[in-house]
Amino acid sequence: MAIQSAGVGSGLDVNSIITQLMAIENRPLNRLQQTASTTQTQLSSYGALKSRIAALGDAAEKLAAAATWTKTKPTSSDTAALTVTSSDGAAPVNLQIEVSQLARAQSIATTALPAASANVGTGTLTIEFGSWSDGFAAFTPTAPANSATITIGSGEDTLAGIRDKINAADAGITAAILNDSQGSRLVLRSTATGAESGFRITAADDDANPLDDNGLSRLAFDPPAGAPASGNQRAVDLVGSVNGAPVSSASNTLDDLIDGVTVQVAKTTTGTVDVSVGPDTAAMKTLIQQFVSAYNEANKYLSDQTRYNADTKTSATLQGDRIAVSLQGQLRALVATQSSASSVFGTLSSVGIALQRDGSLKVDDTKLTDALTQLPELAKLFGADGGGDPLAVGIARRFDVLADSNAGTGGSLASREEGLKQRLSRNRTEQERFSDRMTMVEARLRAQYTALDVKMAQLNGLSTYVTQQVEMLNNSRNYR
């Protein structure tokens, strides 16, 4: 006899019975799932803690670096005329700079031709570099001589072709074509500024007359020889003074006045411009505040994660955790520690970084500003390596070491994370095995109840048959 649905034969609520039985059987699985959830929460907490400790280490590392305490800040009273940059370690300086003339490159414009495609002529152009005096009255070549010869052949003797030949030669001048109301002309400019970047151009053209205004000669530039050219600008040096002393420069960048200081000149000045270079205490304060903020973030997170709420009788995720509690104590101990590296400052509080009742740090700006007037001693307090004396190690350096030993590769936090990951992996394996086992248990229960259904159905059928037979027997007796 086939049973179509569990419980039909027995009249029992088989699905409900099996569900309740499986709920009892699955209690170990529920405990495994609860353990996995707790472990995952701990893993997340440790990840967040490691991130905060690493950030604290990064901030401490910057304070321990010697370059932090040699940062400089340049200023200019007229940034439109003079901009100043300085490298770390540049000596403090105050300058008064006046510029009456900017350095310029030589520039000339040749006579005009009808178009850029017009033929000029073939031959050679010789470019010599040197300086011009009295306007363009006399030319003095550089020593040793610096010159270049460019050959202009047939098919490349248009204005455009000559431009390309000059630029391809990379000889120290550049060429461009200027189109104006009179036609097209070459504009030639030296690639460098300064009086000695001047140039003259002589031509040896095929008409054998280098001084006429025909052929390649029309591109020559040698005013004393009478060669034609127009629209000229002579190359000159920058002329000015620094603290009253005259200075000159072939470029508009003054980078040899003071070691580590560069002055870029954009225009001539109206009177003197005050330029100064001094310690960048604002940048140093920012790095100190970043360190304090990173410490406070780590301290608050540890406090929140290790707290026990007596009112609700609940524990935070890392409450009682040995590594977290130990780390919290180490951080607070470092805040109060002393260093003998500096003869002026011994603790963080001596420079205005004070510990508060809640374990956080607070910066006293007035006290810190005073400490910043003694940068060498401040640098020792934060960054001294100790020279083998652990008591003379800078405090920021100690924080950096502590952070690395906990949040770095192989550190306690990283090791704890790895242990929790392995625990989760084992837990998942156990859950999978248990789930497989419970699948078989449920199948066995259903098979047993199915067999019960069949047996009960058979018995019920037999009972019905017997009942019918008794009734028929009783009925037959009544008819007699």
pLDDT tens digit sequence for 279-307? 999 999 999 999 999 999 999 999 999 88
- Residue 80 CB neighbour total at 10 angstroms: 10
Q: Is the predicted pLDDT of residue 160 greater than 70, yes or no?
A: yes
Integer Cα distance of 90 and 470 in angstroms: 121
What backbone torsions phi and psi does residue 416 show, to the nearest 5 degrees?
-65, -40
- Residue 140 CB neighbour total at 10 angstroms: 12
What backbone torsions phi and psi does residue 82 show, to the nearest 5 degrees?
-130, 125
* Cα three-residue angle 388-392-396, rounded to 5 degrees: 110
Integer Cα distance of 234 and 230 in angstroms: 12
pLDDT, position 112:
83
Across residues 400-422, what is the average pLDDT? 87
Q: Cα-atom radius of gyration of the chain, to the nearest Å?
A: 46
Let me know if 188 is exposed, middle or buried by CB neighbors in 10 A (0-12, 13-18, 19+).
Answer: buried
Which amino acid appears at position 154 of this protein? S
Which amino acid appears at position 95 of this protein? L
pLDDT, position 425:
81
Sorting pLDDT into bands at 50, 70 and 90, what band is 445? confident
Look up residue 84 and give its two tokens. Answer: 């100043």
Contacts 24+ apart (CB under 8 A), 26-31: 26/438, 28/434, 29/431, 29/434, 29/435, 29/438
* pTM recorded for the entire structure: 0.72
Give strand pairing partners of 261: 86, 258
Q: Are strands 173-180 and 183-190 parallel, antiparallel or unpaired?
A: antiparallel
pLDDT, position 1:
38
Look up residue 158 and give its two tokens. Answer: 């248009």
Q: Is the predicted pLDDT of residue 9 greater than 60, yes or no?
A: no
- Of residues 396 and 414, which shows the higher confidence score? 396
Most confident of 27-36, 183-192, 200-209: 183-192
Integer Cα distance of 82 and 262 in angstroms: 10
What is the 3-state secondary structure of the chain? CCCCCCCCCCCCCHHHHHHHHHHHHCHHHHHHHHHHHHHHHHHHHHHHHHHHHHHHHHHHHHHHCHHHHHCEEEEECCCCCEEEEECCCCCCEEEEEEEEECCECCEEECCCECCCCCECCCEEEEEEEEEEECCCCEEEECCCCCEEEEEECCCCCEHHHHHHHHHHHCCCEEEEEEEECCEEEEEEEECCCCHHHEEEEEEEECCCCCCCCCHHHHHCECHHHCCCCEEEECCECEEEEECCEEEEECCCEEEEEECCEEEEECCCCCCCEEEEEEECHHHHHHHHHHHHHHHHHHHHHHHHHCCEECCCCEECCCCCCHHHHHHHHHHHHHHHCCCCCCCCCCCCHHHCEEECCCCCEEECHHHHHHHCCCHHHHHHHHHCEHHHCHHHECHHHHHHHHHHHHHCCCCHHHHHHHHHHHHHHHHHHHHHHHHHHHHHHHHHHHHHHHHHHHHHHHHHHHHHHHHHHHHHHHHHHHCC
Integer Cα distance of 9 and 32 in angstroms: 37
Q: Is the predicted pLDDT of residue 427 greater than 60, yes or no?
A: yes
Sorting pLDDT into bands at 50, 70 and 90, what band is 478? low
Count how many Cα atoms sit within 13 Å of the Cα of residue 434 in the half-sphere of its side chain: 16
- Residue 6 CB neighbour total at 10 angstroms: 18
Q: Is the predicted pLDDT of residue 4 greater than 50, yes or no?
A: no
Sorting pLDDT into bands at 50, 70 and 90, what band is 275? very high
What backbone torsions phi and psi does residue 224 show, to the nearest 5 degrees?
-60, -30
Q: Which of 287, 351, 282, 360 shows the shortest CA–CA distance to 328?
A: 360
Alpha-carbon dihedral of residues 10, 13, 19, 20, nearest 10 degrees?
-100
Omega prior to 144 cis, within 30 of 0: yes
User: What does pLDDT average to over the chain?
Assistant: 87
Residue labelled with tokens 């009942």: 467
Q: Is the predicted pLDDT of residue 443 greater than 60, yes or no?
A: yes
- Residue 7 CB neighbour total at 10 angstroms: 18
Across residues 181-189, what is the average pLDDT? 90
Q: Is the predicted pLDDT of residue 230 greater than 60, yes or no?
A: no
Residues sharing a CB contact under 8 Å with residue 409, sequence separation 6 or more, in sequence order: none
Across residues 439-454, what is the average pLDDT? 74
Q: Is the predicted pLDDT of residue 309 greater than 90, yes or no?
A: no
Q: Is the predicted pLDDT of residue 212 greater than 90, yes or no?
A: no
